[in-house]
A and B are shown apart, each in its own frame.
Chain A
Amino acid sequence: MHPNRRTILAGLAAGLSLTALSAPAFAADVTLNVLYNMPGFTKFHQPLAEAFEKANPGVKINFLAPAANYTEGQAQVLRAAVTGELPDVYFSGYNLTAELVHTLEPRGQITDLGPFIEKDGGQAFLDANYTPNMAALGQIDGRQWGLPVNASSPILYINADLVTEAGGDPANMPDTMPALIALGAKIHAMHPDIAGMAYDISGWPDDWLWQALIFEQGGTLVDAATGKVAFDNEIGLNAMKMIRQMAEEAGAPTLDWDQARQQFGAGKTGFMVSTPAHVQTIEGLVGDRFPLATATFPLDDKAKGGVPTGGNSAVMLTQDPAKQDAAWAYLKWITGPEAQDVIVRITGYLPTNKNATGAAYLAPYYADHPNVETASKQADRSLPWAGYPGGDSVRIWRTQRDIIGTVMRGEVTPEDGLAQLVRETNALMQ
Chain B
Amino acid sequence: MSALSPRRWLPHLVLGLGALVMLLPFYWMILTAIRSPSEIFDISLWPVPKHFAGIENFTQAATSVPMARFMLNGVIVCGGILIVQVLTAVPAAYALAKLRFPGRRLMLSLVIAALCVPMQALALPLFVGLAKAQLLNTYFAMMAPFLLSVFAIFLFHQSFRSYPDEIIEAARLDGFSELEICWRLVLRGSLPSLAAFAVFSVVAHWNDLYWPMIVVTRTELAPPPLGMLFFSDAETGANYGALMAGATLITAPIVLCFLAARKQFVAGITMTGVK
- Which residues on A are within 8 Å of B, measured CB to CB? 35, 37-43, 63-69, 72, 76, 79-80, 82-83, 85, 87, 205, 257-258, 261-262, 265-266, 275, 277-278, 281-282, 284-289, 347
Assess the B236–A65 pair: CB atoms within 8 A.
no
The CA-CA distance from A38 to B127 in the complex, in Å, is 23
Assess the A278–B237 pair: CB atoms within 8 A.
yes
Q: Is B39 an interface residue (CB 8 A)?
A: yes
Assess the A266–B239 pair: CB atoms within 8 A.
no
Taking CB as reference atom, which chain A residue is nearest B213? A65
Q: Is B250 an interface residue (CB 8 A)?
A: no
Question: Can you list 6 A-B pairs with a CB-CB distance of less than 8 A?
Answer: A37-B235, A65-B217, A65-B222, A69-B234, A79-B127, A278-B237
Chain-A contact segment, one of B80-88, B107-115, B161-169, B223-231:
B223-231
The CA-CA distance from A79 to B217 in the complex, in Å, is 12
User: Which residues of chain B are within 8 angstroms of A286 by Cβ–Cβ distance?
Assistant: 38
Which residue among A63, A262, A287, A289 has the maximum number of chain B CB atoms within 10 Å of its CB? A287
The CA-CA distance from A65 to B235 in the complex, in Å, is 17
The CA-CA distance from A264 to B239 in the complex, in Å, is 15
User: Which residues of chain A are within 8 angstroms of B41 by Cβ–Cβ distance?
Assistant: 262, 265-266, 285
Within 8 A of A (CB), among B54-86: 64-65
Q: Smallest distance from the beta carbon of B144 to chain A beta carbons, Å? A: 15
The CA-CA distance from A200 to B127 in the complex, in Å, is 36
- Which residues on B are within 8 Å of A, measured CB to CB? 36-43, 64-65, 127-128, 131-132, 136, 213-214, 216-219, 221-222, 226, 229-240
Assess the B226–A39 pair: CB atoms within 8 A.
yes
Taking CB as reference atom, which chain B residue is nearest A266? B41
Assess the B38–A69 pair: CB atoms within 8 A.
no
Provided the pairs A39-B229, A284-B37, A285-B38 are in contact, do residues A277 and B219 lie with their beta carbons within 8 angstroms? no
Assess the A277–B213 pair: CB atoms within 8 A.
no
Assess the A64–B219 pair: CB atoms within 8 A.
yes
Supply 4 further A-B pairs (C-beta < 8 A) apart from A65-B226, A66-B230, A278-B236.
Answer: A65-B217, A65-B219, A265-B41, A282-B237
Assess the B128–A83 pair: CB atoms within 8 A.
yes
Assess the A63–B136 pair: CB atoms within 8 A.
no
Taking CB as reference atom, which chain B residue is nearest A264? B41
Assess the A65–B216 pair: CB atoms within 8 A.
yes
User: Which residues of chain B are within 8 angstroms of A63 by Cβ–Cβ distance?
Assistant: 219
The CA-CA distance from A381 to B128 in the complex, in Å, is 44
Assess the B37–A277 pair: CB atoms within 8 A.
no
Taking CB as reference atom, which chain B residue is nearest A346? B236
Listed from nearest, the 8 A-B pairs whose CB atoms lie closest are A287-B38, A40-B236, A281-B237, A83-B131, A266-B41, A284-B37, A64-B217, A39-B229
Taking CB as reference atom, which chain A residue is nearest B217? A64
Assess the B239–A281 pair: CB atoms within 8 A.
yes
User: Which residues of chain A are within 8 angstroms of B217 by Cβ–Cβ distance?
Assistant: 35, 64-65, 76, 80, 85, 87
The CA-CA distance from A258 to B233 in the complex, in Å, is 10
Assess the A40–B232 pair: CB atoms within 8 A.
yes
Q: Which of B36, B38, B218, B233 contacts A40 (CB 8 A)?
A: B233
Assess the A266–B43 pair: CB atoms within 8 A.
yes
User: Which residues of chain B are within 8 angstroms of A288 by Cβ–Cβ distance?
Assistant: 38
Taking CB as reference atom, which chain B residue is nearest A261? B237
User: Which residues of chain A are within 8 angstroms of B42 by Cβ–Cβ distance?
Assistant: 266
Assess the B128–A82 pair: CB atoms within 8 A.
yes
Q: Smallest distance from the beta carbon of A155 to chain B beta carbons, Å? A: 14
Provided the pairs A63-B219, A65-B217, A83-B136 are in contact, do residues A41 and B235 lie with their beta carbons within 8 angstroms? yes
Assess the A38–B235 pair: CB atoms within 8 A.
yes
Assess the A38–B236 pair: CB atoms within 8 A.
yes
Assess the B235–A64 pair: CB atoms within 8 A.
no
The CA-CA distance from A275 to B231 in the complex, in Å, is 17
The CA-CA distance from A80 to B64 in the complex, in Å, is 28
Assess the B131–A85 pair: CB atoms within 8 A.
yes
User: Which residues of chain B are within 8 angstroms of A76 by Cβ–Cβ distance?
Assistant: 213-214, 217
Assess the B127–A39 pair: CB atoms within 8 A.
no
Taking CB as reference atom, which chain A residue is nearest B231? A40
The CA-CA distance from A255 to B238 in the complex, in Å, is 16
The CA-CA distance from A72 to B231 in the complex, in Å, is 17
The CA-CA distance from A289 to B234 in the complex, in Å, is 24
The CA-CA distance from A37 to B230 in the complex, in Å, is 11
Assess the B238–A205 pair: CB atoms within 8 A.
no
Taking CB as reference atom, which chain A residue is nearest B41? A266
The CA-CA distance from A68 to B232 in the complex, in Å, is 9
Assess the B40–A265 pair: CB atoms within 8 A.
yes
Assess the B235–A40 pair: CB atoms within 8 A.
yes
Q: Which of A38, A65, A80, A83 contacts B218 (CB 8 A)?
A: A65
